[in-house]
A and B are shown apart, each in its own frame.
Chain A
Amino acid sequence: MKLYRLANKNDAKNIVSLFTSEGNPYHWTLSKWNHYYMNYPEGKPVSVVALDNGVIGHYGMLPVRINQYNAMLGVHAFVKKEYRGSGVIFNLMYLVNKYCSDNGIDFICGFNNHNFAKICKSILKWNIAGYLLFDDVSYFDNQNYQDRYRFIYSQKWYQWKFGSLKPFYTKEYIKDGKRLTQLLKTNRTNIINDSINLWNPERYTLTEPDKWNQPFLIKVINNKIDKNVLDIRNWYIEMGDSDTFEYEGD
């Protein structure tokens, strides 16, 4: 008999064991779990678990402010291999949706991988707001996007995420043998670089592009939210808003 409930600190070790049960590509440790679930500065993170003689499934959420909305960023979805397809994620999400509904959350958003995006759309009834295209530009000015929906963070968050306060944060990344400088987050306008890789707000799309892209999804909890939230072209999203891009320091 599977059990679904909110996780607590005592579950941390078993959750990390679940995350590392098929290799450990995201370098999970107890310390990383504490970083996300104990030290997150923007409110109380939520972690839900599925149990069946141990932790077999997990879904996490980090509180985020999106303009006038209380939202959650969905993170760390994982179901043990032998339980996939048996409704575990469906039941985890039922609990997640109920938690959000009971706690005044307007919507959940997520940077899901392509496969999980398909599952979220078809089975869990999330909306694919659109796709963020990885693009190389030689000039970028974020001034044009100030009126869009965006993740609004405190200085404490920048400290938590990047370890220091700076005008902008970049990360070196190698793709297909090519070294890229990715712009994770910027607080200033007129960034100029020989070539900088970012999610170009001019090229967000509603249909999946052929090129390297990241889906962005939204699960509506409060049906009264502005429907423009569901269209990625009304957003300004930076790579650093996603939990996928972890800053490694200079």
Chain B
Amino acid sequence: MKEIKLDKLKEIINEILDNSERETIKNIRDDMSLTDDIGFDSLDLAELTVHVEKVFGIDIFEDGFVESIGDIRKKIGI
């Protein structure tokens, strides 16, 4: 189940990257920074939170800023 959710998270990230014709990622790791490693800016993060909430039902920015994949995993419990 966790694997499926992690794949879904990767899919969301890649969809955002792909929409603006940026290189998608093959793997995701907890220590990956959303900005430095994945290349997200604030607008991408806004899009990410909307998609993640739609899929997982969790608002990842509800109580603090998320900086890494690990932060998101903790918030959505995977």
**Chain A residues close to B by CB (< 8 Å):** 79, 84-87, 89-91, 115, 118-119, 121-125
Interface residues on B, range: 10 to 19
A-binding segment of B1-9, B14-22, B45-53: B45-53
**Across the interface, which residues of B come within 8 angstroms of A86, CB to CB?**
35, 67
Partner of B41, one of A85, A90, A91, A121: A85
A87 to B44, CA, bound (A): 13
Q: 7 shortest A-B CB distances, which residue pairs? A: A122-B46, A85-B35, A87-B65, A85-B41, A90-B65, A118-B46, A122-B49
Chain B hits for A79, CB < 8 A: 42
Cross-chain contact B65 with A122 (CB below 8 angstroms)? no
Instruction: Let me know if A84 and B42 touch, CB within 8 A.
Output: yes
The smallest C-beta distance from A206 to any residue of chain B, in angstroms, reads 18
| Contact status A87-B67, CB under 8 Å | yes
Q: Give the A-binding residues of B (Cβ under 8 A).
A: 34-35, 40-47, 49-50, 61-62, 65, 67
Contact among B35, B46, B67 with A123 in the assembled complex (CB-CB below 8 Å) = B46
Complex contact A122–B61 (CB within 8 A): yes
Contacts of A119 in B (CB 8 A): 42-43, 45-46
A85-B45, A122-B50, A123-B45 known; A91 vs B65 contact (CB < 8 Å): yes
**Contact of B44 (CB < 8 Å), options: A85, A90, A91, A125:** A85
CA distance A122 to B61 in the complex (A): 8
Q: Tell which of A85, A89, A118, A125 touches B40, judged by Cβ atoms closer than 8 Å.
A: A85
User: For the complex, what is the distance from the CA of A99 to the CA of B47, rounded to whole Å?
Assistant: 28
A66 CB, nearest partner CB in chain B, Å:
26
